[in-house]
């Protein structure tokens, strides 16, 4: 048994074994039905955990996808006498295609426009269900057959309960598997913006659509189960109110946690059921009082536990079990590295104009393998813009950028990272709740054996184990290389700033770069941390790495770099060794104000 179930999975396995056995253990039919609904809600909520809790993309429209799955099977089984299993396949296909279309249109929208758009299409689909003649308008469709497998009929409450919870367990396993993969790590980074994952080679627009489609498919499957449980459908449970309820379940349960989906679904289903029964008795009058009580309870709840209940329970009763470290797996393939002294980056008369402002004005310099080049200059000199031109965040207005003789023109930051240029960020961009190991592994995103699109399917089925082991081993090797080998299990957010900056370098090294671009790596570091950073960069230089760093800390730059490029008002005003720069009249005048 332990061969199949790891220690980490033992408790959840025991929990689900008990849940599946409940009807046999004499659970009254009322509870069997209620828990069936908990299962149905939790399947939808799981998709929302992925979409909203983990990736930060809010959707009020999931109930419409539940309706799509439910109506598809209802229509096909009652109108054409097709098997519910055909209804399931058709429902999944229709939901996935619709979600792909809607997602392609809306997933690029940012801020509050995204949730607003989900309300818009959620409402549209709801009214579509209620107005189409073929779907029975507001009366819906009755007489939906029960699900059968061979001669086994899922006709009674207990058998449907079993089916629903087995589907929920499968969905849960697939989501957990996915979150543990390289694409899953990229999804976990999405809520902190797209710049970092893009720089690690992730196609974030595509990834958002993938998880949107997956969440919709889970909702569609829940709708299929619902239709065959109820044997009738009408538009009401697929409206906006239910879309909001699904979101509430996730928020209350713990939006960023898969277990939060089940906890939230359970709490809301059970509470609303009992409030509906008790409140009229207590208040002596009927009405939707449970909605009012819910609203008040939610506002109070969010004041005290805005991360949801599951993290609270975990902190109180759980113990963070470190993930077993990957065994040493075969190294990932590496790109051929340039010989020491070879010119790696050639910036030729690069110019960048923002409207009338010339931020970078015909700047030229080069970086060689085994050399650290510093790019310095007063505030507003154009250093960050130059950095962004090389990393593909911005494109040049004119001039050339050549990496190992090849033009970088028109390449996105993820293309550039896959060529062998890796970067760190001025404001550290880590996923704080993710371990140091997983954060570093983000850098190896493009180095897996599967193409990213096949990789997602493989990860759902956990067919990516050898690839994962190789990626995580690489991350561990790079962490050991930079001296963070003892901290692999720690959440990245718990590290000191200096260690976080070094972790960013380990992540960049996982990209297998020949050129490292560091944006103000010494900013905010204490002396000891700066010394550790300088020692690391010196070691990397010794190994043949080319490093270009933008930095304000003059001592750091002067002691570490081989070559310095000085900018002012967008133009290069000087270039040379640290010794030359320190006495260069133009630098003393412009950069140091002539005082030193």
- Alpha carbon distance 453, 213 (integer Å): 13
CB atoms within 10 A of CB 428: 19
| Interacting span for ligand ATP (CB under 6 A) from 28-36, 243-251, 272-280, 353-361 | 353-361
| Interacting span for ligand ATP (CB under 6 A) from 10-18, 61-69, 259-267, 381-389 | 381-389
- When the beta carbons of 281 and 356 are compared against ligand ATP, the nearer one is 356
DSSP state of 337: P
> Counting contacts by CB under 6 A, is residue 383 touching ligand ATP?
yes
Is the separation of the CB atoms in 521 and 501 below 8 Å? yes
> Counting contacts by CB under 6 A, is residue 427 touching ligand ATP?
no
To ligand ATP, the closest distance from the beta carbon of 427 in angstroms equals 11
- When the beta carbons of 393 and 463 are compared against ligand ATP, the nearer one is 393
To ligand ATP, the closest distance from the beta carbon of 580 in angstroms equals 21
To ligand ATP, the closest distance from the beta carbon of 551 in angstroms equals 10
DSSP state of 587: I
> Counting contacts by CB under 6 A, is residue 381 touching ligand ATP?
yes
At 78, list the tokens.
Answer: 């009652």
- Alpha carbon distance 105, 221 (integer Å): 23
Exposed / middle / buried, residue 459 (Cβ in 10 Å: 0-12, 13-18, 19+): buried
To ligand ATP, the closest distance from the beta carbon of 382 in angstroms equals 4
To ligand ATP, the closest distance from the beta carbon of 424 in angstroms equals 15
> Counting contacts by CB under 6 A, is residue 384 touching ligand ATP?
yes
- Alpha carbon distance 342, 192 (integer Å): 37
> Counting contacts by CB under 6 A, is residue 544 touching ligand ATP?
no
At 93, list the tokens.
Answer: 């296909």
- When the beta carbons of 383 and 429 are compared against ligand ATP, the nearer one is 383
In the list 73, 385, 391, 500, the residue contacting ligand ATP (rule: CB under 6 A) is 385
To ligand ATP, the closest distance from the beta carbon of 523 in angstroms equals 10
- When the beta carbons of 23 and 377 are compared against ligand ATP, the nearer one is 377
To ligand ATP, the closest distance from the beta carbon of 553 in angstroms equals 12
- When the beta carbons of 11 and 357 are compared against ligand ATP, the nearer one is 357
| Pairing label, strands 546-550, 515-519 | parallel
> Counting contacts by CB under 6 A, is residue 380 touching ligand ATP?
yes
- When the beta carbons of 49 and 359 are compared against ligand ATP, the nearer one is 359
- When the beta carbons of 180 and 504 are compared against ligand ATP, the nearer one is 504
To ligand ATP, the closest distance from the beta carbon of 520 in angstroms equals 8
- When the beta carbons of 92 and 381 are compared against ligand ATP, the nearer one is 381
To ligand ATP, the closest distance from the beta carbon of 164 in angstroms equals 51
> Counting contacts by CB under 6 A, is residue 413 touching ligand ATP?
no
Q: Which residues contact 19 (CB under 8 A, 6 or more apart)?
A: 35, 165
> Counting contacts by CB under 6 A, is residue 130 touching ligand ATP?
no
To ligand ATP, the closest distance from the beta carbon of 399 in angstroms equals 15
| Pairing label, strands 571-576, 515-519 | unpaired
> Counting contacts by CB under 6 A, is residue 379 touching ligand ATP?
yes
To ligand ATP, the closest distance from the beta carbon of 419 in angstroms equals 23
Exposed / middle / buried, residue 152 (Cβ in 10 Å: 0-12, 13-18, 19+): exposed
- When the beta carbons of 385 and 561 are compared against ligand ATP, the nearer one is 385
Cα 4 from chain centre: 28
> Counting contacts by CB under 6 A, is residue 382 touching ligand ATP?
yes
283-316 residues labelled b (16+ CB within 10 A) or e (exposed): eeeeeebbeeebeeeeeeeeeebebbbbbebeee
Specify the residue for token string 């990789």.
455
| Interacting span for ligand ATP (CB under 6 A) from 248-256, 268-276, 285-293, 382-390 | 382-390
- Alpha carbon distance 126, 138 (integer Å): 10
Secondary structure tally for the chain: helices H, strands E: 23, 14
Is the separation of the CB atoms in 290 and 279 below 8 Å? yes
DSSP alpha helices (H): ranges in 420-464? 436-441, 452-460
Site string for ligand ATP, 262-301 (x = CB under 6 A): ----------------------------------------
> Counting contacts by CB under 6 A, is residue 592 touching ligand ATP?
no
Give the number of residues in contact with ligand ATP, rule: CB under 6 A: 11
> Counting contacts by CB under 6 A, is residue 374 touching ligand ATP?
no
- When the beta carbons of 62 and 384 are compared against ligand ATP, the nearer one is 384
DSSP alpha helices (H): ranges in 49-111? 62-79, 84-106
In the list 103, 377, 448, 521, the residue contacting ligand ATP (rule: CB under 6 A) is 377
DSSP state of 108: T
- When the beta carbons of 275 and 389 are compared against ligand ATP, the nearer one is 389
Is the separation of the CB atoms in 85 and 66 below 8 Å? no
| Interacting span for ligand ATP (CB under 6 A) from 68-76, 380-388, 395-403, 470-478 | 380-388
Cα torsion 330, 331, 335, 339: sign: negative
| Interacting span for ligand ATP (CB under 6 A) from 117-125, 292-300, 378-386, 430-438 | 378-386
∠250-251-257 over CA atoms, to 5°?
60
Specify the residue for token string 């061969």.
3
| Interacting span for ligand ATP (CB under 6 A) from 65-73, 190-198, 383-391, 398-406 | 383-391
Specify the residue for token string 């690690």.
200
Show contacts with ligand ATP in window 459-518 (CB under 6 A). Answer: none
- Alpha carbon distance 510, 523 (integer Å): 23
Is the separation of the CB atoms in 459 and 181 below 8 Å? yes
Is the separation of the CB atoms in 430 and 442 below 8 Å? no
What are the angstrom distances between the C-alpha of 535 and each of 93, 195, 484, 531? 55, 28, 14, 6
> Counting contacts by CB under 6 A, is residue 5 touching ligand ATP?
no
> Counting contacts by CB under 6 A, is residue 359 touching ligand ATP?
yes
Is the separation of the CB atoms in 501 and 423 below 8 Å? no
To ligand ATP, the closest distance from the beta carbon of 430 in angstroms equals 21
Which residues here bind ligand ATP, judged by CB under 6 A?
354, 357, 359, 377, 379-385
């Amino acid at each position: 048994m332990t061969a199949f179930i790891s220690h980490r999975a033992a408790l959840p396995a025991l929990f689900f074994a008990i849940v599946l056995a409940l009807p046999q253990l004499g659970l009254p039919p009322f509870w069997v039905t209620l828990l069936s609904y908990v299962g149905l809600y939790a399947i939808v909520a799981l998709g929302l955990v992925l979409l909203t809790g983990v990736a930060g993309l809010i959707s009020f429209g999931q109930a419409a996808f539940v309706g799509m799955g439910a109506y598809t099977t209802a229509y096909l089984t009652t109108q054409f006498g097709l098997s519910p299993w055909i209804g399931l396949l058709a429902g999944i296909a229709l939901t996935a295609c619709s979600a792909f279309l809607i997602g392609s249109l809306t997933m690029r929208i940012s801020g509050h426009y995204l949730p607003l758009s989900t309300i818009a299409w959620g409402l549209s689909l709801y009214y579509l269900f209620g107005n189409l003649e073929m779907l029975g308008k507001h009366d819906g469709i009755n007489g939906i057959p029960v699900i059968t497998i061979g001669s086994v009929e899922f006709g009674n409450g207990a058998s449907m309960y079993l089916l629903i919870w087995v589907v929920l367990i499968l969905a849960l396993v697939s989501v957990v598997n996915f979150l543990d993969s390289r694409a899953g790590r990229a999804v976990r980074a999405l809520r902190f913006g797209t710049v970092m994952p893009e720089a690690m080679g992730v196609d974030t627009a595509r990834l958002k659509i993938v998880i949107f489609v997956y969440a919709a498919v889970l909702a569609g499957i829940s709708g299929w189960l619902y239709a065959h449980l109820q044997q009738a459908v009408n538009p009401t449970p697929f409206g906006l109110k239910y879309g909001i309820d699904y979101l509430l379940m996730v928020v209350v349960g713990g939006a960023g946690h898969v277990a939060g989906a089940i906890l939230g679904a359970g709490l809301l289903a059970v509470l609303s059921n009992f409030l509906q029964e008790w409140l009229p008795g207590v208040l002596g009058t009927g009405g939707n009082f449970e909605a009012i009580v819910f609203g008040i309870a939610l506002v109070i709840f969010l004041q005290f536990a805005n991360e949801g209940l599951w993290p609270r329970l975990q902190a109180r009763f759980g113990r963070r079990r470190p993930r077993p470290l990957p065994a040493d797996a075969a190294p990932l393939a590496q790109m051929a590295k340039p010989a020491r002294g070879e010119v790696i980056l050639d910036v030729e008369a690069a110019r960048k104009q923002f409207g009338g402002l010339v931020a970078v004005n015909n700047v030229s310099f080069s970086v060689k393998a085994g050399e650290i080049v510093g790019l310095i200059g007063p505030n507003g000199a154009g250093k960050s813009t130059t950095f962004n031109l090389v990393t593909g965040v911005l494109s040049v207005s004119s001039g050339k950028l050549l990496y190992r003789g090849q033009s970088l023109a028109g390449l996105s930051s993820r293309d550039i990272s896959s060529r062998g240029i890796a970067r760190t960020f001025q404001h550290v961009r880590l996923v704080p709740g993710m371990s140091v190991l997983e954060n570093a592994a983000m850098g190896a995103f493009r180095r897996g054996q599967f193409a990213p699109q096949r990789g997602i399917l493989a990860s759902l089925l956990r067919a990516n184990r050898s690839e994962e082991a190789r990626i995580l081993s690489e991350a561990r090797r790079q962490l050991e290389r930079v001296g963070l080998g003892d901290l692999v299990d720690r959440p990245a957010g718990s590290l000191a700033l200096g260690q976080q900056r070094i972790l960013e370098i380990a992540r960049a090294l996982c990209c297998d770069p020949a050129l490292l671009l560091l944006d103000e790596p010494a900013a905010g570091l204490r002396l000891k941390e700066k010394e550790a950073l300088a020692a690391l960069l010196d070691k990397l230089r010794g190994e043949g790495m080319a490093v270009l760093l933008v930095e304000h800390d003059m001592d750091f730059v002067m002691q570490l770099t081989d070559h310095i490029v000085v900018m002012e008002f967008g133009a290069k005003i000087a270039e040379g060794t640290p010794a030359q720069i320190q006495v260069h009249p133009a630098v003393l005048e412009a950069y140091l104000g002539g005082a030193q």
